[in-house]
Chain A
Amino acid sequence: MAPPQKSDQEVAAEFTSYYLQRATTEFAEDLDKVRAADDFKNDALRILVGALQQGTAMFSPEEQRRIVTAAARTDTKP
């Protein structure tokens, strides 16, 4: 039986978490530098996370689903 279809919100949430995970891997060095900068205080961490995840808006819901379900389907593969 096919696994139940994920709702759009679930897909968006999963995609955002994947996107952030990728971004933190790719920019690990830069992120360390930013955290060490003088102006890194108060809202800065939230701004940083918000700024990184803005990019998810550039992926249409279908694209997000495609990327997220690529993982899901492999999981269910025998």
Chain B
Amino acid sequence: MGKRFSYGPDGGAAAVSRKRQKIVHEAPTSEEIFASRQLQQLLAFTQDPVRARHGLQSFKLFLDELLSSQSTDADRPRILRDYLQSTRPPAQDDDETAVYLPDIMQTWSYGAQINNDNVMSAVPVVIALLLKLLAQSLDTVPFGLGICRTLLQKRQQDLIARNLSADKGKAFIISPTLRMLKEAVNFDGGAIAKPLFRARASMLKSLGRNMGIVHIGDEPEDAKRPSARTNAILFFLNALKVLHPEAKKELLSQRDICAALTRDVKQDPPYLVRELLAGLRSHVLLDDKLPREAKASLLNASTLTRLSALYQYRLDTAAEDEPSVAQLAHQFLVTACTNPACGVLRQDSGFYPRGVDPNAAVPPAELDDSGLEAVVWMNKFKTEVPVRNFTLSNFLPNLRPWSSIKQSELITSIFRVAPELVANYFLGNKSFTFEPKLSATWIGYAAFLFNVVALPIPDSFCRASGFPELPPPTSIVIDNILPLPLNQKALSRSLANKSGMISFFATRILAVAIEKLETAVKMHQDPSHANQTAWAEAARRLVDEFCQRSPGIKEMINSYRSIPEGDVLRREAASRLLRLCYEVLPQVALMAKFDVSPFLETSLGRLSNQPSDDPRDVALRLKELENLLAIAGYSPGMRWFAASEGLSLSPFTLLLRVCVDAPHGVALETIRRVLSFVAVEQQLAPADDGHPGLLALLEALQALRTASPDLAARIWPFLDNCLTRCANSPVKYVERLQELSQEVAEPGGQDNSQAVASPIAVTMLEQLPFIAGKEDGSAMLKALSRFLPKFLGFSAAAGESRPLLEVIFSKMVPHLGDSKGKLAKAGVPEGLEFEHSTAPPKTGIRGGKGKEQPVARGAGLASEPALEPERLEQTLQVPDGLEADNSALVKWSPKTVDELIDEGYLTSLMALLVSEHASIRKEALVNILKAAAKIKQSEHEEKEQIWLLLSELAETSRDKINDGPLPSPIVSFACHALDVLRDPLSSLYAKVNSFLTRGPTWSLDRLPLVDEVLLEEPGVGDAYYAQTSWLLGYLVDGLRTQHDLELFHKKRAKGPVLERLLAVAANPYMRLPLRAQVLKLVYRATGIEGGSTTLTTRFGAVNWLEARQAACTDASEAAMYAGLRRRIWETCDKERVGAWSKGGLGGARLGA
């Protein structure tokens, strides 16, 4: 312990002055006031501070009493008025110099001279009270104004400044002064606000500092004893209320004040926070006259951040019916950040970052050569996105959207009005990951990300009415569709997470993201784009990027597979995601070779076997079923009429049963539509326009089920047998039907060959005799004797030929055990009415109108206007897959074997064999051989086959490349065969391998694998269409020159290849995408010199197109045919074609 000094009486005083002075508040004395004279005497100037305080304190208590609502003494106001009158300055004094309350002012000045803090504090206390009182009555306002003006005089200004800049510890001087100023600035509606602000050097002295003098202590601030900070803020807010815009602007530009205003807002008492928010809102945010810059200088990122701390405000004492401070702060921030008039939000250009010119002129030649790479800024924003809204960009990272709904709402509402911030935000906040964890934070974050993904894409990407010249940077679009935290790893882990809720959330986010991707891609494909190729390339990149960020479809399938049967909500969401994949990313979805049939069967089985208790669950299950049906529609290999193991009925019959057994009220339109579509496709129902399809069958089943559910349950096996047979050999039953119509025709002499009936009826007739021999044959016969008349009756009612049905029925009766002849006598019942579905009108349209369902098959759309040439090009033009890229010669060598094979280096190398330059071709050959050797020595699983492919290609080309390029189809075949070899699960794997082992070289005169695909069995299940698609793909790529075209039209044993391909397109079961590939081939041919002429004169392509158009039912497809006809006419040798057709073909017929 250090030595203490001892101080003498003098030294002691010095030491006290060095220490922080302790402030001792001696309570002043006071006396009650009964007369104005007494008041005058009390307040008269005196040099004795104790007497002065006595007078001021007595006056204070007097004023307090007057201000309190309980005041009843009628004398007091008179005493005050008399006092004021007596001290009023002489009338001749001018307004500016007249001194009101001269004694009090003098006391104040004297107090300051002698440094008496108590006097310096007591004077503003009474003036503040007096002003407050005088403002209450019109009569007294002139006095008040006089006092206010007195305060503006130099001497008082100095006193005020001195009071305001008193030591931080002397809040008892600062607070009353601020209170007095608050009353003054507000007096008479702000009458002196303007001159008061002019004197801001004194009046606002140390305001920023004073805002920092906060209440200290454990207990909350007492509203009756507000801190200096509270008083300072109230003064500031009152000033804002009455100041004119220019002055307000000046006030808000005081940085220290604005900073101090919100620095401690978290600790402020609730009433002050409320007043602050309300004041700033009405007098800053929503003040139209205040310029934006002024608002912006207050609402900078740190102010916003401090206000956002109010989301966690702890001192709130909100009553039940009033909004909490957190709510008020939220409303304030939402307005401040989303209303452009508030000065924070700036106009951005959507997905185009700051400094980018979306209409920059890029020479078309450069765009053609290097695509989007020609746009300098296209790849620049992968790590950083410059934005216009820098305030918001700095503010947003301070929010915690995962732990507060309101903060999440605030961010998404900002993103909605400033889309540029989305990519910027996630690039700047990489630390928070989406790594799955079953916690409230993860769920909050997932909910926030869901909201971000669900945000709409800005109009035209740039928030304008029309698209700019160039597409937005792909990285930014993808960051808006799948924000950075949603990367492949995190999403895959979430999907596979053992917690159902986590995988459910990930599934939902992905579903919304795919929907958004679809919208974005459609926007890229908008026909109004000036730079079609650039936009198309951007769309491709976008899809690629998406696939890299999203989990693979296999993971989605696995996730769906793992969901327990009873979890209908999850199953619906997962099946919806799969369906969206098939719709939006078919190329990816189809690669997964997902066989939907087992799922469909399970789903059907569940629906038909276990009627769930809650009909809403059934409706949700039906939604899942619809999703699966849609997927089945997209996958070519769906087997509708093959019952798999464990199921007694085929999927089609199960679907029918679901329809019949569904609880009343559940909507079944989609399922009915699928049923009719499959029925027509499989020739269960005639495809003509007037036929009701399956309507009669459904109605009869439903009628029977209503009448007797037990009987209805018995006929399913029989029905399934009939439906399967009918679908498997439709021609047999159609012929049988024709025979029966002949029978009808003969006796009546009427021509009934056109009579219509459903082939199913004929199948039933055929199968009926076999029932009696079965185990429970009699019960089934009993059921059928109820069902068949109904079925035929409804068929007749639906417009089928009654005589024909009568004949069928009469042939059925003997097998139905109708011993008493009742059935025979009754015949096919008449006048049955459809109860469960709408009866088809007699002139007849069928059940529903599906997207896929041909509405008017055969009616044709021959007059459909032709597709515009640009649209036609966009739809049918395929980029040259064998375009020579000479750099491939050097690029391949440093790559690994996997990269060579999987990333297209090998393909580019092979493509060089069609180069025009002999040296390039030779170089390519050498390199192919080198690559083949490298692959053979590698560990690649398919190295042998790929080596063989390359070697055979090299062997085939070795002697030919000196004379000219190799025929394109040969090279194209090699490129496409490589894809097959890479994937041993490909249905073509066997065919390609057996082709390769056939011999060391290939004939350059033939197109490989054409016969094998078109004529031979597919080998694997239902791969015919998949194989045809592959074949057409390689042929389209391989049709580039006149010489190539010769290979297509050369005479061959089975007819020219092109002719056979045109015939392929006539297959009525072929879906549009495959037909479109044939059309792409034709389009390619029209681009080759002489191609159109050859197409017309050798293949009758014009007639073929006319026939296709007449047969097709889809308007856009018809327009495509018409467009192609016009294209052929425009590109052919018109003279020659005219002569060839003897003038039959001309511009008009060809749509030109």
Residues of A that sit less than 8 Å from B by CB: 18-19, 22-23, 26-27, 30-31, 33-34, 37-44, 46-48, 50-51, 54-55, 57-58, 63, 66-74, 77
Quick check: B439 and A22 within 8 Å, CB to CB?
no
- Tell me whether A43 and B404 are in contact in the complex, defined as CB-CB below 8 angstroms, given that A27-B500, A30-B501, A50-B447 are known contacts: yes
Pick the contact of A34: B405, B443, B573, B623 (CB < 8 A).
B443
A69 CA / B618 CA spacing, docked (Å): 12
Known: A67-B619, A70-B616, A73-B615. 13 other contacts (CB 8 A): A23-B569, A27-B501, A33-B438, A34-B501, A39-B440, A41-B440, A44-B403, A47-B444, A48-B443, A51-B446, A67-B623, A71-B616, A74-B615
- Tell me whether A54 and B443 are in contact in the complex, defined as CB-CB below 8 angstroms, given that A30-B500, A67-B616 are known contacts: no
Pick the contact of B570: A26, A50, A72 (CB < 8 A).
A26
Which of chain B's residues have a CB closer than 8 A to the CB of A57?
454
Quick check: B440 and A47 within 8 Å, CB to CB?
yes
Quick check: A27 and B504 within 8 Å, CB to CB?
yes
Contact of B666 with A by CB under 8 A: yes
Quick check: B667 and A66 within 8 Å, CB to CB?
yes
Residue from B499, B505, B665 with most neighbouring chain A CB atoms (10 Å): B665
6 contacts between A and B (CB under 8 A): A30-B438, A34-B443, A40-B440, A47-B440, A47-B447, A74-B664
Which of chain B's residues have a CB closer than 8 A to the CB of A73?
615, 664-665
Quick check: B438 and A37 within 8 Å, CB to CB?
yes
Which of chain A's residues have a CB closer than 8 A to the CB of B446?
51
Contact of B451 with A by CB under 8 A: yes
Quick check: B618 and A37 within 8 Å, CB to CB?
no
Which of chain B's residues have a CB closer than 8 A to the CB of A33?
438, 499
A37 CA / B404 CA spacing, docked (Å): 17
Contact of B614 with A by CB under 8 A: yes
Quick check: A31 and B501 within 8 Å, CB to CB?
yes
Which of chain A's residues have a CB closer than 8 A to the CB of B440?
34, 37, 39-41, 44, 47-48
Pick the contact of B569: A22, A39, A50, A63 (CB < 8 A).
A22
Contact of B512 with A by CB under 8 A: yes
Which of chain B's residues have a CB closer than 8 A to the CB of A27?
500-501, 504
- Tell me whether A58 and B576 are in contact in the complex, defined as CB-CB below 8 angstroms, given that A30-B499, A31-B501, A71-B616 are known contacts: yes
Contact of B948 with A by CB under 8 A: no
Contact of B511 with A by CB under 8 A: yes
Quick check: B570 and A54 within 8 Å, CB to CB?
no
Q: Quote the shortest CB–CB distance from B105 to chain A (angstroms).
A: 54
- Tell me whether A47 and B615 are in contact in the complex, defined as CB-CB below 8 angstroms, given that A30-B438, A54-B451 are known contacts: no
Q: Quote the shortest CB–CB distance from B637 to chain A (angstroms).
A: 29
Quick check: B663 and A26 within 8 Å, CB to CB?
no
* 0/1 string, B232-261, CB within 8 A of A gives 1: 000000000000000000000000000000
Q: Quote the shortest CB–CB distance from B435 to chain A (angstroms).
A: 15
Which of chain B's residues have a CB closer than 8 A to the CB of A66?
619, 666-667
Which of chain A's residues have a CB closer than 8 A to the CB of B745?
none
* 0/1 string, B474-507, CB within 8 A of A gives 1: 0000000000000000000000000111101100
How many pairs, one residue from A and one from B, have CB atoms within 8 Å of each other in the complex? 112
Which B residue sits closest to A26, measured CB to CB?
Answer: B567
- B654-705 interface (Cβ within 8 A of A): 663-667
Which B residue sits closest to A38, measured CB to CB?
Answer: B439
Q: Quote the shortest CB–CB distance from B511 to chain A (angstroms).
A: 6
Which of chain A's residues have a CB closer than 8 A to the CB of B663?
70, 74
Quick check: A47 and B618 within 8 Å, CB to CB?
no
Quick check: B620 and A47 within 8 Å, CB to CB?
no
Contact of B568 with A by CB under 8 A: yes
Quick check: A43 and B405 within 8 Å, CB to CB?
yes
Which A residue sits closest to B402, measured CB to CB?
Answer: A47
Q: Quote the shortest CB–CB distance from B594 to chain A (angstroms).
A: 22
Q: Quote the shortest CB–CB distance from B1122 to chain A (angstroms).
A: 35
Pick the contact of B443: A42, A47, A67, A74 (CB < 8 A).
A47
A46 CA / B326 CA spacing, docked (Å): 15
Which B residue sits closest to A63, measured CB to CB?
Answer: B623
Which of chain B's residues have a CB closer than 8 A to the CB of A18?
616
Pick the contact of A26: B438, B500, B505, B615 (CB < 8 A).
B500
Residue from A40, A51, A69 with most neighbouring chain B CB atoms (10 Å): A51
Q: Quote the shortest CB–CB distance from B339 to chain A (angstroms).
A: 25
A31 CA / B667 CA spacing, docked (Å): 32
Q: Quote the shortest CB–CB distance from A10 to chain B (angstroms).
A: 15
Contact of B29 with A by CB under 8 A: no
Contact of B508 with A by CB under 8 A: yes
Which of chain A's residues have a CB closer than 8 A to the CB of B568?
22, 26
A31 CA / B623 CA spacing, docked (Å): 25
Contact of B787 with A by CB under 8 A: no
A41 CA / B444 CA spacing, docked (Å): 12
Quick check: B508 and A55 within 8 Å, CB to CB?
yes
Which A residue sits closest to B566, measured CB to CB?
Answer: A26
Contact of B450 with A by CB under 8 A: yes
Which of chain B's residues have a CB closer than 8 A to the CB of A19?
569
Which A residue sits closest to B515, measured CB to CB?
Answer: A58
A47 CA / B440 CA spacing, docked (Å): 8
Which of chain B's residues have a CB closer than 8 A to the CB of A30?
438, 499-502
Contact of B441 with A by CB under 8 A: yes
A51 CA / B451 CA spacing, docked (Å): 10
Which of chain B's residues have a CB closer than 8 A to the CB of A58?
508, 511-512, 573, 576
Which A residue sits closest to B311, measured CB to CB?
Answer: A43
- Tell me whether A70 and B615 are in contact in the complex, defined as CB-CB below 8 angstroms, given that A27-B500, A27-B504, A37-B438 are known contacts: yes
A21 CA / B567 CA spacing, docked (Å): 12
Which of chain A's residues have a CB closer than 8 A to the CB of B438?
30, 33-34, 37
Q: Quote the shortest CB–CB distance from A34 to chain B (angstroms).
A: 6
Q: Quote the shortest CB–CB distance from A22 to chain B (angstroms).
A: 5
Q: Quote the shortest CB–CB distance from B85 to chain A (angstroms).
A: 61
Pick the contact of A67: B405, B500, B620 (CB < 8 A).
B620
A30 CA / B569 CA spacing, docked (Å): 15
Which of chain A's residues have a CB closer than 8 A to the CB of B404?
42-43, 47
Q: Quote the shortest CB–CB distance from B411 to chain A (angstroms).
A: 14
A58 CA / B510 CA spacing, docked (Å): 12
Which of chain A's residues have a CB closer than 8 A to the CB of B505?
51
Quick check: B569 and A74 within 8 Å, CB to CB?
no
- Tell me whether A55 and B573 are in contact in the complex, defined as CB-CB below 8 angstroms, given that A34-B439, A70-B665, A71-B615 are known contacts: yes
Which B residue sits closest to A14, measured CB to CB?
Answer: B616
A41 CA / B404 CA spacing, docked (Å): 11
Which of chain A's residues have a CB closer than 8 A to the CB of B405?
43, 46-47, 50
A27 CA / B439 CA spacing, docked (Å): 14
Which of chain B's residues have a CB closer than 8 A to the CB of A63?
623
Q: Quote the shortest CB–CB distance from B567 to chain A (angstroms).
A: 5
Which A residue sits closest to B447, measured CB to CB?
Answer: A51
- Tell me whether A68 and B569 are in contact in the complex, defined as CB-CB below 8 angstroms, given that A33-B438, A43-B404, A58-B511 are known contacts: no
Pick the contact of A42: B403, B504, B508, B570 (CB < 8 A).
B403
Pick the contact of B665: A40, A43, A54, A77 (CB < 8 A).
A77
Which of chain A's residues have a CB closer than 8 A to the CB of B512?
58
Q: Quote the shortest CB–CB distance from A70 to chain B (angstroms).
A: 4
A51 CA / B122 CA spacing, docked (Å): 58
